Amino acid sequence: MKFKITCLQMDIAFGSPNKNYQNAEKLIDEAMTEKPDIIVLPELWTTGYDLTRLEQIADKDAGNTIRFLRNAAIKYQVHFVGGSVANQGESGVKNTLLIINKKGELVHSYSKLHLFKLMDEHLYLEAGDQEGLFELEGLTFSGVICYDIRFPEWIRTHTAKGAEALFVVAEWPAARLTHWRALLIARAIENQCFVIACNRSGSDPNNEFAGHSMIINPWGEVIAEAGANEEILSAEIELELVKDIRKQIPIFKDRRPDLY
């Protein structure tokens, strides 16, 4: 099965959800000229890393963002890997990825498992404790958030259960662009899956972000890559390639989980 994927590499307005909803609406409308099956947004796209004000600007139960994505999904008949949002729950704020299908249904939510202490996430966010596996159109995918890609065992947890594409949403800094590219390519090769990584562009008061959203095939070949600025990135993926490569080099059959 083929899917047209479009990543919205947004320049996020720091701590300004209304501005970010408006920009996302404009970019989604522009992206539909590519006729995508799935649109992907970056990490914390409604607030950016304005962590010290999350109690004021976080989205209560992700309600506003779910409604925004639901309306867009139904209007355009497109699936959303809806980036992640600062999700205010009863016990605190989580960094939560939202999957909305083209019927406007919330298919899955995944809260970031590995909090990045270098950007003080552990001081303002609660870690998640659930897997990122989800299904669209009967196919199994997985979604993770930014720092998660430095934990190959976490990614393998999902691909060992059948995920054929890994969606990564991020606010990855420009200072570690080399790591971003190398880690994403490695995750694609070692898991024999597509990797669709949507990063943000621009800067905030403390960071400059890398952009360079990427779509990578299971051989580790980059089939589409954005630059550093705000950009709409699209490519088609053919999921049959995953099955073919996994037959050629049967790493999942050859694993020795009895020893590791």
pLDDT digits (tens, 9 = 90+) for 224-254: 999 999 999 999 999 999 999 999 999 999 9
Using alpha carbons, list the distances in angstroms from residue 79 to 62, 105, 139, 150: 18, 9, 13, 27
Q: Which tokens belong to 148? A: 């998660």
Percent helix, percent strand, percent coil in the chain, to nearest 5:
35, 30, 35
Q: Which tokens belong to 176? A: 């570690």
**For 199-203, what is the mean pLDDT?**
98
pLDDT in tens, 119-152: 999 999 999 999 999 999 999 999 999 999 999 9
Q: What integer pLDDT is reported at residue 226 of this predicted model? A: 98
62, 45 Cβ separation under 8 angstroms: no
Q: Which tokens belong to 140? A: 């199994």
**How sure is the predictor about 203, in pLDDT bands with cuts at 50, 70 and 90?**
very high
d(Cα 198, Cα 44) in Å, to the nearest integer? 12
**Nearest CA-CA partner of 200 in 32, 22, 14, 45:** 45
Residue boundaries of the structural domains of the chain: 2-254
Among all residues, which ones are annotated catalytic? 43, 112, 146
The domain 2-254 having CATH identifier 3.30.2130.10: the answer here is no
d(Cα 140, Cα 162) in Å, to the nearest integer? 6
**How sure is the predictor about 213, in pLDDT bands with cuts at 50, 70 and 90?**
very high
Q: Does the predicted model carry a pTM greater than 0.85?
A: yes
d(Cα 122, Cα 141) in Å, to the nearest integer? 27
d(Cα 83, Cα 194) in Å, to the nearest integer? 18
**Measured on CA atoms in the order 122, 88, 9, 109, is the torsion positive or negative?**
positive
Q: What integer pLDDT is reported at residue 43 of this predicted model? A: 98
**Alpha carbon 143 to chain centroid, angstroms:** 6
**How sure is the predictor about 223, in pLDDT bands with cuts at 50, 70 and 90?**
very high
pLDDT in tens, 147-166: 999 999 999 999 999 999 99
β-strand partners of 224: 215
**How sure is the predictor about 94, in pLDDT bands with cuts at 50, 70 and 90?**
very high
Q: What integer pLDDT is reported at residue 74 of this predicted model? A: 98
**For 84-107, what is the mean pLDDT?**
97
SS3 of 28, please?
Answer: helix
**Nearest CA-CA partner of 20 in 38, 42, 3:** 42
